[in-house]
A and B are shown apart, each in its own frame.
Chain A
Amino acid sequence: MTRHPRSRVAANRPVRIRHSRWESLFLLPGLLTVGVFFLVPGAYVVYLSFFQSTIVNPAAAYVGGGNYRALAQSALFGPAILHTLALAVGVTTLVVVFGLLLATLLDKGLRGTHIYRTIFFLPYVFPLVVSSLAFMWLLQPQFGAVDVVLQALGLPSVSWLTNPHTAMLSIIIVTAWEFMGFYMLIFLSGLQGVDPNLQEAARVDGANSRAVFWKVTLPAISPSLFFALVFSVIQSFQAFDQIYEMTAGGPGGVTRTLTYYIYLQGFQFFNFGKAASASVVMMVLLGGITFAQFAFGKRWVGSNL
Chain B
Amino acid sequence: MKKKTTSTYVLLTVAAVIMMIPIIWMILGSLEPIGELLSGRLIPNRFELHNYAAPFAAQPFGLYFFNSFFTTGSIVLCQVVTSAFAAYGILFTKARGRNVSFVLVMISLMIPIQAIFIPDYVILGAVHWINSYQALIIPFIGTGFGIFFLRQAFMGIPTALVEAMKVDGASHWTILTRLVLPNSKASLITLAILNGVFHYGYLFWPLLVTDTEQYRVIPIGLSYLAAAEHQITWNVIMAASVMSVAPVVAVFLWGQRYLLKGGVFSGIKG
Q: Does B249 contact A (CB under 8 A)?
A: yes
Q: Does B228 contact A (CB under 8 A)?
A: no
Beta-carbon contacts under 8 Å, A170-205 to B: 177, 180, 185-186, 188-191, 193-194
Q: Does A95 contact B (CB under 8 A)?
A: no
Contact A108 B8 (CB under 8 A): yes
Which of A23-31, A66-74, A75-83, A85-93 contacts its partner? A23-31
Interface contact tally, CB-CB below 8 A:
333
Q: Does B268 contact A (CB under 8 A)?
A: yes
Interface majority SS (helix, strand, loop, mixed), chain A: helix
Q: Does A64 contact B (CB under 8 A)?
A: no
Assess A259 versus B114: contact at CB under 8 Å? Given A39-B104, A142-B40. Answer: yes
| A 222-242 binary contact with B (CB < 8 Å = 1; else 0) | 111001000000100110110
Contact A26 B231 (CB under 8 A): no
Interface size class of B (residues with CB under 8 A): 35 or more
What residues of chain A lie closer than 8 Å to B111, measured between beta carbons? 38-39, 41-42, 283, 287
CB-CB nearest in chain B for A22? B95
Assess A4 versus B95: contact at CB under 8 Å? Given A102-B12, A128-B201. Answer: no
Contact B104 A34 (CB under 8 A): yes
Contact B204 A241 (CB under 8 A): yes
Interface size class of A (residues with CB under 8 A): 35 or more
Binding site for B on A (CB under 8 A): 1, 3-6, 8-9, 16-17, 19-21, 23-27, 29-42, 44-45, 48, 58, 98, 102, 105-106, 108, 110, 116-131, 133-138, 140, 142-145, 148-149, 151, 177, 180, 185-186, 188-191, 193-194, 220-224, 227, 234, 237-238, 240-241, 244-245, 259, 262-263, 266-267, 272, 275-276, 279-280, 282-283, 286-287, 290-291, 294, 303-305
A-B contact pairs, 26 of them (CB 8 A): A16-B94, A24-B95, A27-B85, A30-B146, A31-B86, A31-B105, A33-B138, A34-B108, A34-B142, A37-B120, A38-B113, A39-B107, A39-B111, A42-B119, A45-B115, A45-B118, A105-B8, A125-B252, A140-B231, A144-B25, A151-B40, A189-B266, A193-B270, A238-B113, A263-B204, A279-B116
